[in-house]
Amino acid sequence: MAKYDVVVVGGGPGGSLAAKTASEKGLKTIMIERGRKIGDKSSSGCGLAPRIFRDFDFIKKMNIPGIKIKYQSMHMLDENLEERFMIRWSTSDLAEYPEAREFFQFDVYRRDFDRFLAELASEAGAEIRTATLASGVLKDSRGQVTGIITDKGEKVEGDITIAADGAVSKIAYQAGLRDKWRPDEITLVVDCDFQASRARMDELIGPEEYCNQVYVSPLYPATYVAMMPEGFHVGLGQWVGRFASGFGERPYEYLRRVISSGTLKRFIDRLQARPREFHAHLLPWMPRMPTNTYGGGIMLVGDAAGFACPLEAEGIHYAMVSGKLAAEVAAEAISKGDVSASGLRLYEERWKNSIIGEEFSTAKEWAEFWAGIYFDPRQWTKITPLANNLMFWASWSNPHIRNLRREISRYSEDVPFILEFAKSYIYPLLQRSQIPLFRSLLKLGWMWLRTKKRKGIQLETEG
C-alpha cells in the first residue's frame, strides 16, 4: 500500500495548486484524477480572472491560446427574443492593478489551462495518477480520514487528504463533511461550444474588440456568450431547486431557443460558427458562507468546498487560492504532528481571512441579487421596456421636450417598481457594504414610498 504525506483527489485548478504547493513544501504528494488526461473532464472553456495574473507569479510562464476580453455587453430582449436595449462597457480606471485595468477575463480552454497547472505540480515533484477514480475514503478507528481507496480497490494512504474533486465531491460526502447540496446551493449549467475560424472572428469582431455578452429576456434565465480562442460558448443555468419555477423542465430546450433566434442567431450566422459540443455541469452557487470545509485528516478546496463566487459563480481563482492555503496548512499540521480536525481548523480561519471569506461575507445578498434579476425571466418584462424607454427623449417622433415629458411621466409611474427593486436587491448590498451616502439616499426613498403606501397608492410588484 502506497503511503504519502498528502493525497490530493482531483486534477482541476484546486487540486493542481494543492499538489504543487504541498510538493514545494517538501511533502510527498500524489494527485489522483479520474480523467484519462488532465482537463478531459472539465467544462471546455473558461475566463481567467485578472487577479489570477496578479496573485500567481508562475502564470507568466503560461503559453496557451487565449483571448483578452476587454469589453462586456448586456443585451435585453423582448418576448419575441428581439433585442430592445444593449449596453457595452470596457475595463475601468477604478481597477486597483494593471491586469484588471487591461482586461476583464482571459478566456482559454480548460484542457490547456488544467494541463498547464498539473505540469507545474509535476515539476514541483507531485506524482500524478490519471485514469484513477477515488471511490471512497479510508478512516481510522476515530473516524479520521487516512487516505482514499480507488475504483480498482487500491488503498492510497496519506496523513492528509485534500478533496479537490469538484462540485459533486464524493470525498466530501464519504468523509461525512457534507450531505448532498441543498437545491438552493447548486446550479445546473448547460452550454454549447461553438467552433469558428479565428481569422473570421478577428475580421468581424476586431482583434482588440472581443466582448463577452449576457442576454436577458422574459423567456429564459440569463444566457452568457464567452469568446474562446477558436469560437465561443453559449450557456445558461439555474439553481436546481428553481427548475420548476421560471426555468421549466428542459434546460437544453432553452439553450436551443436562445441560439436559434434573434441577435444571437445573427451573431452565430455571421461567424459561420458550428456547434461542436454540448455540456451539462453542476456548479455550487452558495447563498451563504460555506461550512464544514475540514475534518480530521481532510480539507475541501474549490468547488468541493462550495467556493465558486456567490455573484457570478466564477470559481477558478478561489479553487487555486484554497488549494494553496490547504497545502500550506497541511505542511504546518504535519510538521506539528497534529492532523486532527482541531489541527486543521486553521484552514477555515485562513480562507475566511482571505479574498474568499471577503467575497462570501455578502454571499446572501449577491446570490439573491442574481436569483431575483438574472435568473428570474419575469423581471425582464418590466426592466427591458424601462431601459428601452430611457432614450425616448431623443426620438424624432415629436418635439424633444414633448418626448422628454412623456418619458418622465412614464418613469414616475414606475417609481414604485424601481424603489421596490432597489429595496429588495440593491439596499441589502449597500447596507452590508457600509456606503453611508447611498444607504441614506435609499432609506429616504424607501420612507417616501411608505408614505405613499400609507396614503393608499397601489404599488405594482413583480410576478
Ligand X SMILES: Cc1cc2nc3c(=O)[nH]c(=O)nc-3n(C[C@H](O)[C@H](O)[C@H](O)COP(=O)(O)OP(=O)(O)OC[C@H]3O[C@@H](n4cnc5c(N)ncnc54)[C@H](O)[C@@H]3O)c2cc1C
Inter-CA distances, 138 with 43, 159, 231, 264, 344, Å:
29, 11, 44, 50, 18
Give the DSSP letter string of 339-353.
-SHHHHHHHHHHHHT
**Grid cell for residue 63:** 503559453
- How near is the Cβ of 276 to ligand X at its closest, in Å? 15
- How near is the Cβ of 130 to ligand X at its closest, in Å? 9
Q: Which stretch binds ligand X (CB under 6 A): 86-94, 264-272, 310-318, 366-374?
A: 310-318
Interface with ligand X, residue 108, by CB under 6 A: no
Interface with ligand X, residue 308, by CB under 6 A: yes
Interface with ligand X, residue 15, by CB under 6 A: yes
**Are 57 and 21 contacting, i.e. CB atoms less than 8 angstroms apart?**
no
Local structure of residue 424 (DSSP, 8 states): I
Site for ligand X in 217-276 (CB under 6 A): 235
Nearest to 286 by CA among 209, 224, 368, 196: 368
Binding string, 112-141, against ligand X, x = CB under 6 A? Answer: ---------------------xx-------
Q: How far apart are CA 337 and CA 322, in angstroms?
A: 22
Binding string, 144-163, against ligand X, x = CB under 6 A? Answer: --------------------
| CB nearer ligand X, residue 295 or residue 306 | 306
Specify the 3-state DSSP secondary structure of 236: strand
Q: Which stretch binds ligand X (CB under 6 A): 11-19, 195-203, 240-248, 329-337?
A: 11-19
- Looking at residue 200, its amino acid is R
Binding string, 32-51, against ligand X, x = CB under 6 A? Answer: xxxx-----xxx--xx----
Torsion of CA 310, 221, 241, 13, to 10 degrees: -40
* Cα 364 from chain centroid (whole Å): 15
Q: How far apart are CA 170 and CA 137, in angstroms?
A: 9
Interface with ligand X, residue 359, by CB under 6 A: no
Interface with ligand X, residue 14, by CB under 6 A: yes
> In this chain, which of 315, 343, 377, 428 binds ligand X, going by CB under 6 A?
315
> In this chain, which of 25, 281, 324, 350 binds ligand X, going by CB under 6 A?
281
**Site residues, ligand X (CB under 6 A):** 9-15, 32-35, 41-43, 46-47, 133-134, 164-166, 170, 189, 191, 235, 281, 283, 302-304, 308, 313-316, 319
